[in-house]
Amino acid sequence: MDRCRKTWEVLFFCFLCWRTGCCMKVMCNGVLWVEPADTVVSMGSELTVLCRSYNKQCGRRFSISLNQQPQTPLQVLNCSTVRLRLANVSTPKSELICRVSNGSLEQTVCGMVLLSGFPPEKPTGIRCFATKDSENVSCTWNKGRQTHILTSYSVTFQHKNGAQSFHVQSQNESALCVPRSMFDGNGEYNVSVRAENDLGESASDVVPLSVADLVIPSTPKIIAVEFENSSLSAMLRWNISESLGPWKTKVRVREARGDKDPWVEKQGTEESQGLLLLKGFKPLTQYEFQIQVCFAEGKSKCSEWSPSAWHMSPGTAPHRQLDVWRIFRGIQKDGTNRVTVLWKALTPEDYKGVMLGHEIVYQEGGQERVHTCDADVTECNLRVSPGVKTLFVSAVTSAGKSPPAALHIAQTRLAAPCVRDLAPAGEDRVFLTWDMHRHPTESALFYIVQWQSHSLKMQWKKVAADHNSTHAEGLKPGVRFNVSLYAVTSVGASEPASKQIYSKEETPLSGPKVSVLTIEATRIQVQWEELDLDQQRGFITNYTIYMRNRRTRQQVTLAGSMSRRMWLVDVDAAFDLHVSASTSAGEGPLDGSNIGLSFVIAGLLVILANLICWNRRRIKRTCKTIGPQWLFEKFPRVENSTATKLLQEKERGDSDSFWQSVYNDPPITPVEIIPVERTNWYPSPRAEENTDGVMVAAMPSPVEPETDLLLAERHGYKPQITGGTLEEEVPEEEDPWLTPLHTEIGPISDEAGAPYSPQVCGLLRGWLSDLAQDRSSTGLSTMGGIHFKGTPQTLFSGESWLEERPAVQGDSSEGQTLLPDELVRCLNSPMMEYGPFPQGIVLHSTQNHH
Digit-coded pLDDT (tens) for 421-430: 999 998 899 9
Residues 574-584 have a mean pLDDT of: 86
Half-sphere exposure in the Cβ direction for 450 (13 Å, CA): 20
Cβ(701)–Cβ(708) under 8 Å? yes
Q: What pTM was computed for the model?
A: 0.50
Strands annotated E in 180-262: 188-197, 200-203, 207-210, 221-227, 234-239, 247-255
pLDDT value at residue 160: 85
pLDDT value for 11: 52
pLDDT for 317: 85
Distance, in Å, from the CA atom of 477 to the CA atom of 479, rounded to the nearest integer, reads 6
Q: Are strands 786-789 and 596-598 parallel, antiparallel or unpaired?
A: parallel
CA distance 266 to 255: 13
The predicted pLDDT at position 363 comes to 92
Q: What is the mean pLDDT of residues 678-705?
A: 37
- The per-residue pLDDT of the chain, averaged, comes to 74
Most confident range (mean pLDDT) of 223-227, 436-440, 651-655, 717-721 is 223-227
Task: Identify each DSSP E strand in 550-601 by its residue range.
Answer: 553-559, 565-569, 575-583, 586-587, 596-598
For the ranges 9-18, 62-71, 122-131, 528-537, the lowest mean pLDDT is seen at: 9-18
520-522-526 Cα angle (round to 5): 60
105-117/40-42 β-pairing: parallel
Asked whether 96 and 28 are in contact (CB, 8 A), the reply is no
Question: Do 234 and 225 touch, CB atoms closer than 8 A?
Answer: yes
Beta pairing class for 75-78 and 81-89:
antiparallel
Q: What is the pLDDT of residue 788?
A: 47
Provide the total of helices (H) and of strands (E) in the chain, helices listed first: 9, 54
* Better-scored residue on pLDDT, 230 or 264: 264
Most confident among 8-17, 65-74, 736-745 (mean pLDDT)? 65-74
Task: Give the model's pLDDT for residue 629.
Answer: 62
Mean pLDDT computed over 806-815: 41
Q: What integer pLDDT is reported at residue 21 of this predicted model? A: 43
pLDDT at 735: 40
What is the pLDDT, as a whole number, of residue 496? Answer: 93
Average pLDDT over residues 265-278: 88
Angle between helices 601-613 and 762-771 (to 10 degrees): 130
Task: Identify the H or E element spanning 827.
Answer: helix 821-828
pLDDT average, residue stretch 72-84: 92
- With a cut of 80, say whether residue 592 has pLDDT above it: no
What is Dmax (Cα atoms) for the chain? 176
Window from 367-381, 455-469, 494-508, 800-814 with minimum mean pLDDT: 800-814
| 8 A C-beta contact, residue 303 and residue 216 | yes
Q: According to the model, what pLDDT value does residue 692 have? A: 39
Which tops the pLDDT comparison, 534 or 846?
534
**CB-based contact 516:526 (threshold 8 Å):** yes
Asked if residue 697 has pLDDT above 50, the reply is no
**CA gap 556, 565 in Å, rounded:** 13
Cα–Cα nearest to 28, from 115, 107, 114, 113: 107
Q: Give the residue among 389, 437, 442 at the shortest CA–CA distance from 416.
A: 437
d(CA 465, CA 614): 84
DSSP secondary structure string for all residues of 675-686 = -SS-S-SS--SS
Whether 416 and 335 have beta carbons less than 8 Å apart is answered as no
Q: Percent helix, strand and coil across the chain, each rounded to 5? A: 10, 40, 50
Evaluate if residue 576 carries a pLDDT over 70. yes
Q: Is 354 left (phi over 0), alpha (psi -120 to 50) or beta?
A: beta
Lowest mean pLDDT among 337-351, 538-552, 650-664: 650-664
Asked if 154 contacts 166 with a C-beta cutoff of 8 angstroms, the reply is no
Instruction: Give the residue from 151, 311, 133 showing the smallest Cα distance to 227.
Output: 311
Given a cut of 80, whether residue 795 has pLDDT beyond it is: no
Lowest mean pLDDT among 312-316, 540-544, 589-593: 589-593
pLDDT band at 375 (very low <50, low <70, confident <90, very high): very high
Least confident of 488-497, 548-557, 744-753: 744-753
Per-residue model confidence (pLDDT) at position 416: 92
Residue 749 is given by DSSP the state B
Say yes or no to pLDDT of 837 above 80.
Answer: no
pLDDT at 790 over 50: no
Nearest 5°: CA angle at 522, between 521 and 528?
Answer: 100
Three-state secondary-structure class, residue 33: strand
Distance, CA of 658 to CA of 652 (rounded, Å): 8
Per-residue pLDDT at 691 exceeds 80: no
Of the pLDDT bands very low, low, confident and very high (cuts 50, 70, 90), residue 607 is low
Q: How far is 807 from 827, CA to CA, in rounded Å?
A: 10
Contacts 24+ apart (CB under 8 A), 66-75: 66/94, 66/95, 66/96, 67/91, 67/94, 67/95, 68/95
Kindly write down the DSSP assignment for every residue of 144-183, as one continuous string.
Answer: -S--SS--EEEEEEEETTSS-EEEEEEES-SEEEEEGGGS
Phi-psi region of 645 (alpha: psi -120 to 50; beta: other; left: phi over 0): alpha
- Kind and range of the H or E run holding 646: helix 642-653
The dihedral sign for the CA sequence 259, 261, 263, 269: negative
The closest of 82, 80, 99, 202 to 141, measured between CA atoms, is 202
Rg of the Cα trace of the chain?
58
Which pLDDT band, with edges at 50, 70 and 90, does 813 fall under?
very low
What's the rounded Cα separation, in Å, for the pair 757 and 766?
11
pLDDT given at position 747: 40
Length of the chain: 850
Backbone angles phi, psi at 213, to 5 degrees: -100, 10
Q: Which of 294, 286, 289, 262 is nearest to 278 (CA)?
A: 289
Report whether pLDDT(608) > 50. yes
Q: Which helix (H) or strand (E) holds 293?
A: strand 286-295
Residue 227 bridge partners (DSSP): 234
- Output the pLDDT for position 245: 66
Q: Which of 150-154, 240-244, 245-249, 789-793 has the lowest mean pLDDT?
A: 789-793
What do you get for the CA distance between the two ends of the chain, in Å? 119
Nearest CA to 507 among 581, 457, 400? 581
Predicted confidence band of residue 814 (pLDDT cuts 50, 70, 90)? very low
How far is 178 from 184, CA to CA, in rounded Å? 13
Distance CA 243, CA 507 (A): 91
- With a pLDDT cut of 90, the percent of the chain lying above it is 36
Element (H, E) at 93: strand 93-102
Q: Tell me how far apart the alpha carbons of residues 577 and 785 are, in angstroms, rounded to a whole number.
A: 5
Cα distance between residue 712 and residue 715, in whole Å: 5
- Average pLDDT, integer, range 146-161: 92
424 vs 411: CA distance, rounded Å: 31
Instruction: Note the pLDDT of residue 627.
Output: 62
| Mean pLDDT for the stretch of residues 676-687 | 39
Closest CA relative to residue 72, chosen from 92, 60, 86: 86
HEC string of 381-443 equals: EEEECCCCCEEEEEEEECCEECCCEEEECCCCCCCCCCEEEEEECCCCEEEEEECCCCCCCCC
Higher pLDDT pick, 734 / 77: 77
The per-residue pLDDT for 118 is 94
pLDDT score of 679? 39
Contact 553, 744 (CB under 8 A): no
- Say whether 292 sits in a helix, a strand or coil: strand
By C-alpha distance, which of 40, 43, 92 is closest to 198? 40
Q: With a cut of 80, say whether residue 313 has pLDDT above it.
A: yes
Share of residues in the chain with pLDDT > 70 (%): 65
pLDDT per position as a tens digit, 610-640:
565 555 566 667 666 666 665 656 656 666 6
